[in-house]
Amino acid sequence: MSKPDVVAGILWLGATLYAVFGGADFGAGVLSLISERDGELGSRARARINRSLTPVWEANHVWLIFCLVVLWTAFPRAFGPLMETLYVPLTAAAIGIVLRGSAFAFGHAFSGRTKRRSEQVFGLASVITPFFMGCVVGAVAAGAVPADGAGEPFSSWLAPLPILVGILFVTSSTYLAAVLLRDDARRGGDPELFRYFTRRAIGGAAVAGALSVAGVFALRSDARFLFDGLTGPGLPLMIASLLMGTLVLVGLVKGVERGLRPLAAGALVAVIWGWGVAQHPYLLPENVTIDAAAGAPQTLTAVIIVFIFALLIVGPALIFLYRLSQMQVLED
Amino acid sequence: MIVDVAFALPLAADNLLAARETMAFTLGFHIVLACIGVALPALMLIAEYRGRKYDDADALNLARRWSKAAAVLFAVGAVTGTVLSFEMGLLWPKFMEQWGDVFGTGFAIEGIFFFTEAIFIAIYIYGWNRLEGWKHFWTGVPIVIAGIGGAFSVVAVNSWMNQPEGFTLAADGSVTNVAPIDALLNNATAYEFPHMLLAAYMVTGFGLASIYAVGWLKGRRDRRHRLGFIIPFAVAAIATPVQLYVGDVAARGVADHQPAKFAGFECVQETGPNQTEWIGGICTDDGVEYGIGIPGLNSILVGFSTDTVVTGLNDIAPDERPPANTMLHLAFDGMVGIGSALLLLAGWFGWSMWRRREPPASVWFWRGAAVAGVGSVLAMWMGWIVTEVGRQPWIVQGLMRTEDAVTDAEGLWFVFGGAVLLYTALGVIAYKAVRVLSARDDELAGIPYGPPGPEPEIESVEAER
């Protein structure tokens, strides 16, 4: 494995963690928006979401910064073209991030109507942000980002595959969040809320599953290279994902109480790594390889060293935070 | 394809200015929150330390209410900071593409600090009830360290733009022999980092203290308000003289390594010894007009002698001179002027605390303290104007022009307008949120509020409930 490949692996790991933790975070926002029409149970759901998210949302989103920084430091020749071509959805995602984080924080400060407004903005931004991020990923998959960055600003992502991936990002995040929150509700001693999130998780799984099937066809027609990779070297991981996803769905329907969270996250992780295997050796499929995008070898070494430090420092701290949060030590 | 052309038509005009204004505005907004993020944890910890060590309920109350405001401000700071990492690429893609691997390690290191900060901030802010005693105090210590480390790694990147080091430029223009650590530890980092760190402590300290100074002027003079003033003001007052020293060193560093910038903000037209130091005025091609001139002082400040030769703009190629010399000159003088005024205020405070164990009683001191927060923010903004506008036309001093780094993307003025609207709204709401939180704290604590002043903001928000 070459040095650029190692760093690409680090980047992929960061993206995976963002997809799981950031994704669950976005999904919780979507669920909060949906719960608006669920009356009393809905407001209990929002209270649960609020409690689960408050201490961890900021840390969840540092993974995005991590990915951006590794991308521009280690692979500047991919970062530049990416930003130059896909500036429209990226700007939209950035706006979504601002609205989401600040609305969430404001929701804690105000009460009454302002609080409700803040929650609604938070929910809407939780849909917008992952959608546009999905558009970016979909456009990259479709090979719409050329090496010189002079891609089409609109038709690069206003196309079936990127939009489908955008919607898939939103739905799979929602599904994952519902599975996680279901557990929180159970531990919080609220069986009704447990069943509520279970229903949401089943709904999310069904929609995300159906969209994935559609995604296979979209990939086949618009991103043939990636499709071949996913059905070739990436196939074992795709099958693993399918199996885990199915197990989660069965578990949800049967009302299994424990053990679904790692499976649900695992299904997502398997897809992301299957994707990575499939598009190897490209960073921007069929336009820029990992090696061509890579920066100076000394910098790659520095990034690897920094990453090891991050594992040693941030890893235990994050586990500490999540444990405290799970133990309900952290409260508003 | 048609849709691309249709959207593109009216929007491609003057990207460089739009990109620079967008960057300046969003960075100017974020830097205030970043200062708070770096320095407020230390102030909270000082208050908490006092509270726990001396069983001081007022001090604990302060630490707790500051941390509530911090929860809102840090959140807004986190998202505006995220936007900046997008903007680096969205506005300056060619800068990132060519130099990202040279300076990027600084940001990678910053990532660790940012993580640490986000994690322990959450534990600290939301752990008040269930983490008892000193345990809670200690969860705050990593935040302070991470704030310092984060400031270092980010400012090091800016320093690198001013004094790029840590690589070799090959004959064909390609960058080789990259040494990430050398890039971080460039000459400018040595003064830019302490200058910014101290600025963060001054902005936060004077800013927080000025809220209590306003309260004092309105008649809120109980022990808690007094302590709420003294802790942040003392920290800022200690930082101020050090800051003036570091600033002096920094100006000499700029004169040595970025003579064009120095000549720009000091309005030095002709290279030579015995340069006049101009205070205020307008910078013209013939030198400063309407300013107060002190003969020879500029040379003395640069090299401790009137014989010191200072480079003038006449020795800088016309297309490499910084723009807007009057603005640069006034920004620099404004920063130094405010810094000096703050030093006087700090000295007054220090004298009074030493002699009487009390802040000065004079209403003029409290009026000064009440505007010190806004003053220190203005001084910091002016400092950044000097740094950034003074480096133009370069984005990487001497190596890459800003016009060659900017994106070709269309519609940047719309982005600028949108950013102004969005951030203005954000600023107003964040301000109200902090006011509401503070008012709610007072209700909960049942603290008598002294003679109530008119506070329409709170009432209007309360009415919405």
Tell me what pLDDT residue B4 has. Answer: 54
User: Are the beta carbons of A299 and B130 separated by less than 8 Å?
Assistant: no
Residue B268 makes CB contacts below 8 A (sequence gap 6+) with: B262, B275, B298, B310, B311, B312, B313
User: Are the beta carbons of B99 and A76 separated by less than 8 Å?
Assistant: yes
Tell me what pLDDT residue B445 has. Answer: 59
How does residue A161 score in pLDDT terms, banded at 50, 70 and 90?
very high
- Could you tell me which chain A residue has the CA closest to the CA of B67? A332
Facing B122 at nearest CB: one of A56, A87, A314? A56
User: Are the beta carbons of B86 and A90 separated by less than 8 Å?
Assistant: yes
Interface of B with A in 313-372 (CB under 8 A): none
Residues from chain A that touch B109, judged by Cβ atoms under 8 A, are: 306
Nearest one of B448, B382, B429 to B73, comparing CA atoms:
B429
Nearest one of B279, B65, B383, B22 to A94, comparing CA atoms:
B22
Euclidean distance between the first and final Cα of chain B, in Å? Answer: 50
To test the contact with chain A by mutation, choose from B64, B87, B112 the residue with the greatest count of A C-beta atoms within 10 A, namely B112
Residue B351 makes CB contacts below 8 A (sequence gap 6+) with: none
Phi-psi region of A288 (alpha: psi -120 to 50; beta: other; left: phi over 0): beta
The amino acid sitting at A250 is V
Facing B104 at nearest CB: one of A72, A110, A324? A72
Facing B409 at nearest CB: one of A76, A84, A95? A84
User: Are the beta carbons of A58 and B101 separated by less than 8 Å?
Assistant: no
465 residues of chain B, pLDDT tens digit each: 455 554 444 444 489 999 999 999 999 999 999 999 999 999 999 999 999 999 999 999 999 999 989 989 999 999 999 999 999 999 999 999 999 999 999 999 999 999 999 999 999 999 998 888 899 999 999 999 999 999 999 999 999 999 999 999 888 878 888 999 999 999 999 999 999 999 999 999 999 999 999 999 999 999 999 999 999 999 999 999 999 999 999 999 999 999 999 999 999 999 999 899 999 999 988 888 898 989 999 999 999 999 999 999 999 999 999 998 999 999 999 999 999 999 999 999 999 999 999 999 999 999 999 999 999 999 999 999 999 999 999 999 999 999 999 998 888 999 999 999 999 999 999 999 988 888 877 766 554 444 444 443 443 444 443
Tell me what pLDDT residue B3 has. Answer: 54
* Stretch A83-110: mean pLDDT: 93
How does residue A149 score in pLDDT terms, banded at 50, 70 and 90?
confident
The predicted model scores a pTM of 0.92
Tell me what pLDDT residue B411 has. Answer: 87
- Residue pair B425/B454 in contact (Cβ under 8 Å)? The answer is no
To test the contact with chain A by mutation, choose from B68, B79, B131, B413 the residue with the greatest count of A C-beta atoms within 10 A, namely B79
A256 CB neighbour count, 10 Å cutoff: 14
Q: What is the DSSP letter of A278?
A: H
Token look-up 């299994």 returns A256
Residues written for chain B:
465
Chain B closest CA to A188's CA: distance in Å? Answer: 17
Chain A closest CA to B146's CA: distance in Å? Answer: 11
Residues written for chain A:
332
Residues from chain B that touch A56, judged by Cβ atoms under 8 A, are: 122
Tell me what pLDDT residue B413 has. Answer: 92
Chain A closest CA to B89's CA: distance in Å? Answer: 6
Q: What is A113-139 written as a DSSP string? A: HHHHHHHHHHHHHHHHHHHHHHHHHHH
Residues from chain B that touch A119, judged by Cβ atoms under 8 A, are: none
User: Are the beta carbons of B75 and A105 separated by less than 8 Å?
Assistant: yes
ipTM of the complex: 0.93
Facing A296 at nearest CB: one of B82, B178, B430? B178
**pLDDT higher than 60, residue A265:** yes
Token look-up 């000549």 returns B263
Please, what sign has the CA dihedral across residues A318, A321, A324, A328? negative
User: Are the beta carbons of B176 and A320 separated by less than 8 Å?
Assistant: no
Residues from chain B that touch A3, judged by Cβ atoms under 8 A, are: none
Tell me what pLDDT residue B464 has. Answer: 40
Token look-up 């460089």 returns B16
Q: Which of A109-113, A328-332, B65-69, B332-336 has the lowest mean pLDDT?
A: A328-332
Tell me what pLDDT residue B2 has. Answer: 52
d(CA B12, CA B16): 11
Backbone angles phi, psi at A257, to 5 degrees: -90, -35
Q: Which two tokens stand for residue B199?
A: 């600025």
Chain A closest CA to B443's CA: distance in Å? Answer: 14
The answer to whether residue B90 neighbours chain A at the CB level (below 8 Å) is yes
- pLDDT tens across A198-208, in order? 999 999 999 99
Nearest one of A331, A182, A144, A153 to A261, comparing CA atoms:
A182
Q: Which two tokens stand for residue A64?
A: 């995005």
Tell me what pLDDT residue A331 has. Answer: 75
The amino acid sitting at B108 is A
Residues from chain B that touch A74, judged by Cβ atoms under 8 A, are: 101, 104
Tell me what pLDDT residue B11 has. Answer: 45
How far is C-alpha B464 from the geometric centre of its chain's CA atoms? 35
| A110: helix, strand or coil | coil
**pLDDT higher than 90, residue A261:** yes
d(CA B402, CA B351): 48
Tell me what pLDDT residue B457 has. Answer: 41
Tell me what pLDDT residue B446 has. Answer: 52
User: Are the beta carbons of B98 and A158 separated by less than 8 Å?
Assistant: no
User: Are the beta carbons of A65 and B75 separated by less than 8 Å?
Assistant: no
| A325: helix, strand or coil | helix
3-class SS shares of chain A: helix, strand, coil, % to 5: 80, 0, 15
Residues from chain B that touch A70, judged by Cβ atoms under 8 A, are: 108
Identify the bridge partners of residue B98 per DSSP, sorted by sequence position: none
Facing B122 at nearest CB: one of A55, A104, A153? A55
How many alpha carbons fall within 13 Å on the CB side of residue B296?
Answer: 4
Chain B closest CA to A103's CA: distance in Å? Answer: 9
Residue B336 makes CB contacts below 8 A (sequence gap 6+) with: B247
User: Are the beta carbons of B111 and A331 separated by less than 8 Å?
Assistant: no
To test the contact with chain A by mutation, choose from B64, B101, B153 the residue with the greatest count of A C-beta atoms within 10 A, namely B101
Tell me what pLDDT residue B444 has. Answer: 63
The answer to whether residue B122 neighbours chain A at the CB level (below 8 Å) is yes
Residues from chain B that touch A95, judged by Cβ atoms under 8 A, are: 418, 422
User: Are the beta carbons of A317 and B116 separated by less than 8 Å?
Assistant: yes
